[in-house]
Amino acid sequence: MNIVITGASRGLGKAIAKAFAQEGNTLLLGSQNKVYLETMAAELQELAPGSRILHFNFDAGNKDSVLAFGAWVLQSVNEVDILVNNVGSYLPGSLHNEPEGTLEKMIELNLYSAYHLTRLLVPGMIANKSGHIFNMCSIASLNAYANGGAYSVSKFALYGFSKNLREELKTFGIKVTHILPGATYTDSWAASGIDPNRLQEADDVAKMIFAASQLSDRACPEEIVLRPILGDL
Q: Is the pLDDT of residue 196 over 90?
A: no
Encode pLDDT of 1-29 as tens digits.
999 999 999 999 999 999 999 878 999 99
Distance CA 143, CA 3 (A): 30
The DSSP 8-state label assigned to residue 217 in this structure reads: T
Write down the domain spans for the chain: 2-226
Distance CA 61, CA 16 (A): 21
Which candidate in 112, 115, 145, 151 is catalytic? Answer: 151
The model's pTM is 0.95
- Is 32 within 8 Å of 57 (Cβ atoms)? yes
In residues, how long is the chain?
233
- Is 155 within 8 Å of 138 (Cβ atoms)? yes
CATH number of 2-226: 3.40.50.720
Which of 157, 156, 134, 158 shows the shortest CA–CA distance to 206? 134
Cα Rg, the chain, nearest whole Å: 17
- Is 181 within 8 Å of 159 (Cβ atoms)? no
Encode pLDDT of 41-62 as tens digits.
999 999 999 999 999 999 999 9
Look up residue 119 and give its amino acid: R
Which of 152, 164, 165 shows the shortest CA–CA distance to 107? 152
- Beta-carbon contacts of residue 74 (< 8 Å; ≥ 6 apart): 120, 121, 124
Q: Is 151 a catalytic residue?
A: yes
- Of these ranges, 78-92, 138-152, 195-209, 212-226, the one predicted with the greatest mean pLDDT is 212-226
Q: Which residue has the higher pLDDT, 192 or 169?
A: 169
What pLDDT does residue 52 have? 95
